[in-house]
Structures are given as C-alpha cells and as structure tokens.
Amino acid sequence: MAEPSSPAQEVTPRALTVVLAGGGTAGHVNPLLATAAELTSRGHRVVALGTEEGLETDLVPRAGVQLVTIPRVPFPRRPTMAALRFPSTFMKAVSAAEDAILAAGADAVVGFGGFVSTPAYLGARRAGVPIVVHEANARPGLANKVGARMTDHVAVTFAGTPLRHASLTGLPLRPDVAALAGVLADPALAGPARHSARAAVGWDDERPVLVVTGGSLGAASLNAATVGAVRSLVEQGVRVWHLTGRDKSEEAVAAREALPEDLRDAYRVDEYSHDMAGTLAAADAVVCRAGAATVSELTALRLPAVYVPLPHGNGEQALNAADPVAAGAARLVPDAGLTAERLESEALAMLTGSAHDAMVDAAAELGIVDGAARLADMIEEACA
C-alpha cells in the first residue's frame, strides 16, 4: 500500500539583490524609491545606480538605500568636442556600471530611464544579468527604447506606451500616496481622512477644495489664472489651496490680501508642500501639469483633474493625460488657453455634484494603486 503523499510545501522566494538604475529628476527617482521600498519589504537587497549630479545624490541615501554613482554621459545633440569624446566616455560609463553590477552581486538590473539607465542596461547585458525596464511616460525615452530591446520584461505606466513586450503595471507610487489611495478607496475612511486633512490647515467645514499646483518650480500660467479667478471662486463657496512654486508667491499673496477679510481664509497660498499626500487628502479636485507621476497619483487617488500640459518639450505630458481624459476622469486645457475665466469654469464643473462623482468613478476604474507590487512581481519573475 502506497504511503500517503505529503502536502506540497510552499516555496519561499529566495532573497535577491537588485540594482535599480535611474536618476536626474524626481520623475525617475521617486518610482525607483517606491520600488526599493517594496523590494525591501519582501526581504530583497537593493542598490541604486545613479550619477553625482542628479537628485538621487540627496534623495536615495536619505531613504536609506545604498547609492553607487557612475559618470553622467548625456547623448550629444550637436557636433562639439564633447560629441567627439562621447564614444569613449560612454563606454567608460558602461564599464563603471558593469563593475557596480558585478560588485553588488546583482540578480537583476531595473532601469527607470535617464542618463544612467543606458549604461546600466549595457553593463547588465555584459554581466549576463537579467534586465527589467520601467517606463513612466506615455512617450518612452531613448534609454528605455534601448533597454526594451534587451529584455522581455518591460513595465509601463500607461497602456498605450509604444515599447516592445510592454506590460501595464502602472507607476510605483510613493508609499504615503499609495497608503492614502487605499484610505480614499474605502467610503468609511475617505470622509474622515478628508475632514482631518482640512482641519489640519484650519478648514473645518465641507466646502469644496480646489488644489492648484505647477510643481515645485511652479508654473506662471497656472499662477496667473488662479490669481485672476480666485475672488470669484471663493465668493461661490470654493476653498482654493494654491501652491505657487518657490519664490513665486508674491502675486498670489497680494491677491489674498485684496480679498474681503471674511473670504481671505478661503484662499491658502504656499510656495511648496512638504506633505503633498496631506494636501491631496484635502482636495476635491486639482488643476496641475501632466507629468507621469502627477497623472498616476491623482488617478489612483480618484481625484478629478484639469491637466495643463507643459507647452514645450516632446508633447509627452498631453499623452500622459490622454487615458484619464478619454475615460472622463479629467479635462485637458492647453497652456495658451488657460485664462482666469477658463480655470474658473473648469473648476466649478469639476466640483459640481453629479459631474464630480462621475469623474471620481472614472478615475477609480482607471487608477492603479499597486504599481510597486506589480513591478516587484515582474522583477522576481525575471530572476526565477
């Protein structure tokens, strides 16, 4: 008689060492750090690869992640002496990346785009280490176009991103934003959380709140339109939280002082928010640019938005906003078309009961809260 078979034992995934390559801007560093937090929570070791010139030199060590730097070698845009030196300096960066990958004992290299990612991809290929690509924007950059040719493991934030082997994971959200998204998804928790965020800045009623932000550097067009519209908005019962950007608050402060005293409290002016999750927790709707992180976060938080894409660059911001606009979760206004009157009409439309609720529902269908977990799953799969 055969002995009874023992139950199948669950296999615990082995601990990995993962090199995360990216930097230069917050658009690369923040998803890198969100991914690092998720991998670390799973028992994996993380090393970041960056340059000495980008934001990563401050943000990565502050997050408790080891940072190794390699030379920053921008791709030359025109014929100069630097362009003539580019092949040799670029290969030095590739060699430095390979050395860092081997020294870390990496099981995988994950690139988030930017100057450091191309050398990292080529260094990983030399070292025989699996590659994973994450592209934040709807229009991919050159580095990730190169990386996507070296791997089947390609994660994208937006469904229409034209990269080979692309799988939709969404953006790895900052842990505080991901936690807030979970709270706002629960009807029993959303109301108290919003009330608490408003009470923290002295707003203790249920009047609708509009947040306007052009990012840490601000946006002249958003600031001018808000200053022009704010009196009418607050007279109609809207509270406006205006983040002007550093050293760009003078006109907004003057507009606040010009309001009747009983309306002044309804217009809050800050140059920058050190707790953006707390600011967004207070919001009913947002007017802002359309960077990949902004679009991903607002959609995950179920916040109606008016996106005003940057008027220069390669048009990627309009593409980033395309899915929530098509789904009815947001509206798009060209930078040149953002007047005070337009901002006022769009804001009031977003804050109106049935229209607001429809936009919230559309964002709930589209938003991805667990982007970091999805990307971590892909990394573990690449190492299996």
Where does CATH 3.40.50.2000 sit in the chain?
A: 17-173+370-383, 175-366
What topology is assigned to 17-173+370-383 in CATH? Rossmann fold (3.40.50)
Sheet architecture: strand order including 154-156: 66-69, 45-50, 17-21, 108-111, 131-135, 154-156, 166-168
Q: What is the pLDDT of residue 84?
A: 61
Asked if residue 122 lies in contact with residue 99, where contact means CB atoms within 8 angstroms, the answer is no
Q: What is the pLDDT of residue 9?
A: 47
Strand runs labelled E in the chain: 17-21, 45-50, 66-69, 108-111, 131-135, 154-156, 166-168, 209-213, 239-243, 267-270, 285-288, 305-307, 330-332
Q: How far is CA 81 from the centre of its chain?
A: 36
Q: What is the pLDDT of residue 333?
A: 98
Q: What is the pLDDT of residue 53?
A: 86
Asked if residue 245 lies in contact with residue 271, where contact means CB atoms within 8 angstroms, the answer is yes
Q: What is the pLDDT of residue 218?
A: 74
Class of domain 175-366: alpha beta
Q: How far apart are CA 357 and CA 6, in angstroms?
A: 53
pTM, two decimal places:
0.91
Q: How far is CA 146 from the centre of its chain?
A: 22
Q: What is the pLDDT of residue 14?
A: 87
Give me the tens of pLDDT residue by residue for the chain, a chain 384 residues long: 344 444 444 445 689 999 999 988 888 999 999 999 999 999 999 999 999 888 899 999 999 999 999 998 766 666 666 666 667 788 999 999 999 999 999 999 999 998 899 999 999 999 999 999 999 999 999 999 999 999 999 999 999 999 999 999 999 999 999 999 999 999 999 999 999 999 999 998 889 999 999 987 778 999 999 999 999 999 999 999 999 999 999 999 999 999 999 999 999 999 999 999 999 999 999 999 999 999 999 999 999 999 999 998 778 999 999 999 999 999 999 999 999 999 999 999 999 889 999 999 999 999 999 999 999 999 999 999
Instruction: Name the residue with tokens 């709140």.
Output: 209
Number of Cβ within a 10 Å radius of residue 268 = 20
Q: What is the pLDDT of residue 4?
A: 44
